[in-house]
Structure 1
Amino acid sequence: MPLQVTDQLSLLMDILRSHQLDQCGSNSECAQIQRLTNSLLQNPQTPLELRETLTSIQTYSQGGNSAPSVDQHVMGYQNELNQWMNVLEHN
């Protein structure tokens, strides 16, 4: 059974919150973020006001997959992670 939009957003927020609080991450988490954002962006039930944020998060996850150090990549995105969490929590 596929995850609903709310379930996907909740999972995405959990992973991003972990990156935000722990200031580190893994390639597998970046890959999971990428799968979630791809799915959400393709789903017509995803709120339109989240699409720009989801596109930014998708770019973040792609960069994390190719970064020499995922932890350094995550640390460099702390301001964006804070902004994204704020947007996601209020939608």
Structure 2
Amino acid sequence: MGLNQQNQIHLLKDILSDHQADCTGTVAECEQMERIIKSLMANTNLDAGLKGVLEDIYLYSQRGKSSASINSHIQEHQDHLTQWVEDIGSFS
């Protein structure tokens, strides 16, 4: 059984919140965020505002995977993480 859209958004928010609070993360978390976002983007009824936020998070995840230091990458994006968590919260 797969996750519904609300579950996916909640999971994405949880991962971003952990990155924001802990300033640490893993490549596996970035890969998981990418999978969640791909699944959400396949939904044609997705809110346009949420779609823009998801595109930004997807880029963050891609760059995080290839970063020499995932933790430095996360620290550099603290302001974005805070905003994304707030933005996603308004859609969940």
TM-score, normalising length: structure 2: 0.94
Give the deviation of 1:68 after TM superposition. Answer: 0.5
- Name the counterpart of 1:62: 62
Alignment of 1:1-91 (within 5 A): 1-91=1-91
How many equivalent residue pairs? Answer: 91
Flag the structure with more relative contact order, 1 or 2, with Cα contacts below 8 A and sequence separation at least 6: 2
The residue type paired with residue 87 of structure 1 is D
CA RMSD of aligned residues (A): 0.9
Determine the C-alpha separation between the residues in 2 that align with 1:46 and 1:14. 20
Q: Percentage identity across aligned positions?
A: 36
- Structure 2's unaligned 5+ residue stretches are none
TM-score, normalising length: structure 1: 0.95
- Structure 1's unaligned 5+ residue stretches are none
